Structure 1
Amino acid sequence: AAYILPGMCIAAYVLWSGIGHLTSQTVVNPAFEQYQTDSLEFSAYSAQLLLQHEDPYTASMAPAAQRFRISPRINTPTMDGDRVSVQPYPALSFLVYVPFVLAHVQSMIWVDIGFQLVAMLLVLALAPVWARTLFGLFFLVIPEYREFAVGSVTDVVWLPLMIGVAASWDRRPALAATLLGFACAIKQEPWFVVPFALIHWWQLDETPAKSTAWRNLGLLAGAFLLPNFPFLIWHPAAWLAGVFSPVLSHPVPLGSGLIQLQTSGFTALPLGFYTVLWVGTLALCAAAYALWPNRLAWLPFIAPALVLFFSPRSLQNYFVYWPVVLAMYAATAPQQRVGVPQEALPSLRARAAGIAAGIAIVLLAAVGAGAAGQQVAIAAGRVALDPQTGYVRGIDVRLNNPTARPLAFRFAVCARDNAMVFWRTDQSLVPAHDTAILHLRANDIVREIPAGDGFQVVAFAPQDSLAVYTRPLRPADARGRGLRNGRLISAVNAFEMLPVQAPLAWTADPRAFLDGRLAVVHDGPFGNALRFRLGAQARRAPLSQTFVPNGRRFAFWIKPVPRGLHSSRAGALRVTFVDASGREICCNAPPARDGVWNRYDVEMPRAAVTSANPITIVVGPDDRVLHGALNAEFGGIVEYE
């Protein structure tokens, strides 16, 4: 029973993860598997560069998007309008993928799933019998543990190492130091455990010279430098710039911590305020640990999450794995802490108490100053929609600068899923103690934002560490009346994950554009057309749009494309009008000629068209007619009032 139930949990997790990965929206076919984070994108690309004898820290990561057919929007934007394009993590973050790239593993997502499985097996091996099933359920019940591994989140790579650190923290400090060094060589989150480790080793070592503590520090440093030293020697400045780029590159604030108040538009504090908070919280936690090492023995394994809660960058993956590490320490602590000193050394206690008091005063002063200070304010006004696509192409904003110095801003538009694109403005400098009305415009159609799900306007002043957000916006006419983009204007929209051209304002499975079932061609009646190319067993890929019609009459164009001796009948590609209840209103007429554009005119019943009820147009294969492959084109649709 000690192994059967945990083993069943692991088997269920493996099955769940495998099915989840294979059915993920990002998995197109074995040739196209999209990475959903720049961390895995950069790690996989860096592994490839290293095998080509190139230093990943001197190469730009920008070509990785094209290499893996990924939308550049997943790369972290910076406050100066650029995107992070350097390798931002220590070397072991990509070295772990090198053997799998050499082995021609198709997707590094499978490697991340493997690390998650290793973490579960370690838990099964190291946890007490009574806790094994609980840990297994822990991985199953919390969906992030599957979704993050499948979703290209690479933090799972350091999880097995930190589980080992927690299980050997008191019992085998030398092993814990080595494992912690390797974890720090993967990503920066484990760095926050290092101050607690130093305090712990100092307290454990009762010799005057503290030789054991120094030895453990040497093991930690050696483990960290072992994978990083070649790159540090190769190009030291590039390595330092890359590893510290999470701070030096000024990424835009984002996360699920305290910064949510800022990114939701509730406050506009300088980002330095959050830096003071997280640094002060780290110092306060370390001082408290030095004061009460027994009562707070668990603190090193949750402190990183506490500290990062106050950081301007506090993504959910910064938090989700620490409860596992904390639980592992809690489960093994009774056996580990036998013989461990129960109180802090007197000299260390006195110093820690003074430090803690000073930090608390500084934090209270920072919070008070931030709350009482004058804040820059931004509000959105008129929103201009593109008449062709219904996307937002212009916004007027009112920006108030109450400070005593002029501020230079850059402006971006942020979608609800945090995709961010910078727009141009007619004015960037706002004088001191002044209010300006600014006109923001998308640089081109690629940067226009779909309005239906809402968006925000963000003003960045990088030199002053300011990021000011509007409250979420959704124009009253975001959905708009009338058909949008009936002429099939297509682009690689900067707010979409799809890295290939697709008709704007229309909805379709993005995988269909990557595997060839759908493709934009340029021989349509209005220029663009959408080609449907489906095999007999291919998954259907309909195109659709929902809108409130202005009239009852529509005209659309379909062309069957001959393929060898066989061709698709025009009627095999069907245009269906569906009302709000899901009832079909009408569909296209029988087919006409192959290889040419066939125009169809339809008129919906008067009772089906009202001023309030939307309809949906669905373009796709007609299974009642289609009994084989489909090779046809949709040339667009026109609405007549």
Structure 2
Amino acid sequence: MRDAPNHQVDALVSGLVVIAAARLLRVGFLHGTALSSFSLASVLPVLTTYLLGFALLVTAFYILGMPKPSWATLLWAKLSRYERLAAHVLRYSALAGLAVIVGKAIIVRAGLETFGSDGMLFTQYGTDLVLTGRNPYAVSMIEAYQRYHVSQDLATFRIDGSLVTALSYPAMSVLTYIPQAALHIPNLDLTTLIFFGVSFTLIIWSSPWSCAWIPLVLLSANSDLIAFSGGGVFDAIWLLPMLFAMFAAARQKVFVSGLLFGWACSAKQTPWLAAPFLIVFFVMERKSIVDGLRFAGGAALSFFAINAPFIVANPAAWFVGSLTPVAGGAPLVERGTGPILLNLAGITALPKEFFSVLGLMVLASCVVAYAAYYTRIRWLAWAAPVLALWCNYRSLQNYFVFYIPITYLGVLLQMREQPIIRRPFGRIAASWAIVSAIAVIVIGFKQRDATALAGNVQVSEAIDEDRLGASSRLIVDVRNDEPRPVSPVFALLHKTRVAPMIWRRVDGPQEISAHQISRFTIEAPEGFNGLVPFESGMHIRVYERGTEKRWSSVVEDFSRFDAHPLEHLLGNPKFTNWTQHGDRRVPYGWRDASFRGRDDVTVGLKENQDGVAIRIQNRATRPRKALALAGLEQPLRSGVNAITVDATTMGLTPCVALAKELPEFAVGFEMRVRSGQRIRTFLSSCSSIQIGGSKNDVRIFIPAQADTRKTYDVYFADLVKPELFSAFTRENHPFIVVFAGVRPGNVAREAAVIFHSIIGRYGALQSR
């Protein structure tokens, strides 16, 4: 026996489906940005995972109103006896949890001037220009890189090797951040996080009491939402007005909903593709085209009112900036986790137009399908563009992941509307879907090599100048079998970062003559993202400048080009190529690891299937607060014989430590406390490190002028050389170095060089 639908059960079941969809999109992203190999067997599971996730977003609407088993209704009736108490506990605890998540993200980033994307960098520079009375659309954003000393790792490249240097978003992407910029508060991510927090507060408050916890689980199932919002991706500033527009639509305020939607579209281009679905939504809600026109009119009025000052000041500049992907210039470099992965993996060489047409076909098909099945999925209109966005040649995760909370709110709003008329997925719709899929596959197969040039490219040598365990220069041979000369542009990506980067030509001709072979030396762009790790496979493309035509070559086993496999026992021993990582600066190849525990500091050895890792552990002084303090863990890529290891602590005072060859120095350590109080300095013995069967004492040295209010972060290296310290001084980051070595012959000599350098720069050190 089945009973009538229960709103609480409906919301709970559909909410769980949305959670599953969110998790699938996260899994697809993880595997799509770090492929196991450049093969169809690696790409297809990623595409399938995404498609399943999108299907579940639709399913969350489709199952609303379906009769539930009688036992579920009876069980819910018993639980509802405690509804009043449970409603308060669940809702307010969910709000408290959200406050902790967003508050922690804000605290970590407060005071740090960091940029997680070129979009946020341009926004920061744009606010500076607006506050000085200048038009950000009329100024080249290339100046932002110099002004804020930001690496071009963040840049968006075109296939001709140039960068996107125009403000690439509508006006609200700048205007939203004007208040914070006017107050001279660094890190515009704080405003984004506030928008994000308000958005999820609205969603939690709108949830039935039994589902108040679901938005928090969504954040856990897909951590990209909070990570992007605090990492330079500002989609949250269009998410909030989009939610307001949905609430206005639920109250039949069509024109107001249009105004709010126009606000969302003025922040970023992502919601633009929702417009046709929403027009159909309002037309079919009241069976009147007038409502559709009222919504469209409100959206257009709001959008152009916000952007009007910039349009009037310089229409051409605004148009080029706001419509960067289609407003002229060379196409942007392909990137994403959708079908474009087939190109990125070197499986196909489909042109950009194929993906653009595919996206438009999918968009049109989805609009028709939405109109046909409107009665079952009407609030899906607000999240319907996800599939079309995913099919584009640039399908970044943030383009569609922020539609997850919109989907969940749409489920809640649709749940409240009864009756729901069930309409099964008909034969005509199924036939259309199958025919469309076959047509796309056939066209794609015929066009799979449409951008390939006659000839080939081969890697001859890989150079690792800084012993990073990753190549910073390549020597490549390009054979041009075309009947014309070709001006080359080099782009590389690797399996662990499936995002092409343009490499600079250091040596070689400007053009490759017809039917000739030319040798080139190419160099990675500034920063670390473009480097190719030897442990990863790589894909090199050589574009004909200004076109999509290219030579392409995949090297699955790039480690065979490593000329010094035993010299860099640890990645990046010189600490070159620093980048922002959370609340600290981290060298290329390093990652954070958090530890909790008692009041002590330990240095130890950890073995796993990948080899050996040295760990230094910095524990909280107040375990009752369960403060997770930062440590770092770096795996060794070789055996444990004859290893010299540095553990380096970054901080605001210069220090150096040596091994047991200099026993006259005492042992000390600066402890980091995140409780907001002054740093508590203590001196204690550290555990010894056992490497290759030999125990080596750890000596840590602190200068006499050490400031107890400062904090330190922990890093590791494997060699002690003067070049290591030049990286610190170049970045203006004084430091502590902890050293434990097993090569007595080298330690004293290297230590003397380092001490001389440090004393000359910072003055005498005093042991404790």
Query: Per-residue CA shift, 1:306-328, capped at 9, x if unaligned?
Result: 01111111111112111211121
The aligned counterpart of 1:313 is 394
What is the CA-CA distance between 1:116 and the residue it aligns to?
Answer: 1.1
Indicate yes or no: 2:490 matched with 1:411. yes
Q: How does 1:133-212 map to 2 (within 5 A)?
A: 133-169=213-249, 171-172=251-252, 173-204=254-285, 206=287, 210-212=289-291
- One-letter amino acid of the structure 2 residue matched with residue 314 of structure 1: S
Q: Deviations over 1:391-447 (max 9, x none)?
A: 635434465778887654310334544472422162565678x68564333289989
Q: Secondary structure at the match of 1:303?
A: coil
Deviation per CA, 1:463-496: give whole Å up to 9, x if none: 332464635553336382565699x998975x95
* Counterpart check, 1:370 vs 2:447: yes
Which one of the candidate residues 362, 365, 382 is aligned to 2:460? 382
Q: 1:373 to 1:274 in 2, by over 3 A?
A: same
Give, as a single letter, the amino acid of the residue that structure 1 aligns with 2:542. A
Amino acid across the alignment from 1:616: D
Amino acid in the other structure paired with 1:465 = E
Structure 2 residue ranges without an equivalent (≥5): 1-85, 593-620, 622-628, 647-652, 668-685, 703-716, 722-735, 741-752, 759-768
Q: Which residue of 1 aligns with 2:544?
A: 461
Q: Does 1:15 align with 2:117?
A: no
Q: Which structure has more helix as a fraction of its residues?
A: 2
1:236 partner amino acid: P
Choose the corresponding residue for 1:219, options 284, 294, 298. 298
- Aligned ranges 1:471-482 → 2 under 5 Å: 471=555, 474-476=558-560, 478=562, 480-481=564-565
Partner of 1:297: 378
CA distance in 2, matches of 1:6, 1:450: 48
Whether the 8 Å CA contact 1:383–1:475 is kept in 2: the answer is: no
In the TM superposition, residue 183 of structure 1 has moved relative to its aligned partner by 0.7
Q: Larger deviation: 100-109 or 294-303?
A: 294-303
Once the two structures are superposed, residues 276-308 of structure 1 have per-residue CA deviations (whole angstroms, 9 ceiling, x without a partner) of 111111122122223332244244233321011
Equivalent AA in structure 2 for residue 369 of structure 1: K
Moved more, 157-166 or 293-302: 293-302
What one-letter code is carried by the residue in structure 2 that aligns with 1:212?
Answer: D
Matched-pair contact (CA < 8 Å) for 2:451–2:549: no
- Partners of 1:86 and 1:440 lie apart in 2 by 30
Secondary structure of 1:158's aligned partner: helix
Q: What is the CA distance between 1:115 and its match in structure 2?
A: 0.9
User: 1: CA distance between counterparts of 2:167 and 2:93?
Assistant: 39
More displaced 10-residue stretch of structure 1: 143-152 or 111-120 = 143-152
Shift of 1:185: 0.6
The alpha-carbon deviation at position 12 of structure 1 amounts to 1.9
Structure 2 match to 1:5 = 90
Secondary structure in structure 2 of the residue aligned to 1:90: coil
Percent of residue pairs bearing the same amino acid type = 22
Query: Separation in 2 of the partners of 1:579 and 1:480?
Result: 25
1:88 pairs with 2:168: yes
For residue 497 of structure 1, report the CA deviation from its aligned partner. Answer: 5.7
Work out the CA distance in 2 between the residues paired with 1:479 and 1:331. Answer: 59
Q: Which residue of 1 aligns with 2:131?
A: 51
Residues 360-399 of structure 1, C-alpha deviations (whole Å, 9 max, x = no match): 7974663343247584585543223256646635434465
Residue 59 and residue 197 in structure 1: after superposition, are their counterparts in 2 closer, same or farther (change >3 A)?
A: same
CA contact (8 A) 2:665 2:701 kept: no
Supply the AA of the counterpart residue of 1:382: S
Matches within 5 A, 1:410-559: 410-414=489-493, 416-417=496-497, 418=499, 420-424=501-505, 426-427=508-509, 436=517, 438-442=519-523, 449=531, 451-454=533-536, 455-461=538-544, 463-466=546-549, 468=552, 470-471=554-555, 474-476=558-560, 478=562, 480-481=564-565, 483=567, 493=577
Equivalent position amino acid for 1:370 in 2:
Q
Give the structure 1 partner of residue 649 of structure 2.
none
Deviations 1:119-146 (A, max 9, x none): 1111133334443332333234432222
- Counterparts of 2:373 and 2:589 in 1: how far apart (Å)? 60
Q: Distance in 2 between matches of 1:336 and 1:94?
A: 38
Q: Does 1:269 align with 2:350?
A: yes
The range that moved more, 4-13 or 395-404, is 395-404
Closer, same or farther in 2 for the Cα pair 1:445/1:109, shift >3 Å?
closer
Q: Report the TM-score, using the length of structure 1 for normalisation.
A: 0.71
Q: Secondary structure at the match of 2:401?
A: coil
- For residue 422 of structure 1, give the secondary structure of its aligned residue in structure 2: strand
Contact 1:259 1:313 in 2 (8 A): yes
Change (3 A) 1:164 1:446: closer
CA distance in 2, matches of 1:55, 1:135: 39
Mapping of 1:321-400 within 5 angstroms?
Answer: 321-336=402-417, 363=440, 366-371=443-448, 375-376=452-453, 380-386=458-464, 389=467, 392-397=471-476
SS at match of 1:35: coil
Superimposed CA distance per residue, residues 70-105 of structure 1 (whole angstroms, 9 cap, x where no aligned partner): 322112122111222211000011111101112232
Distance 1:364 1:508 in 2: 40
The one-letter code sitting in structure 2 at the alignment partner of 1:426 is: G
**How many angstroms apart in 1 are the aligned matches of 2:739 and 2:475?**
48
Corresponding residue SS for 2:136: coil
The answer to which structure has the higher strand fraction is 1
1:109 corresponds to: 189
- SS of corresponding position for 2:115: coil
User: What SS does structure 2 have at the residue aligned with 1:125?
Assistant: helix
State the alpha-carbon separation in 2 of the partners of residues 296 and 441 from structure 1.
52
Using a 3 Å threshold, how does the CA distance of structure 1 residues 206 and 9 change in structure 2: closer, same or farther?
A: closer
- Residue identity matched to 1:132: A
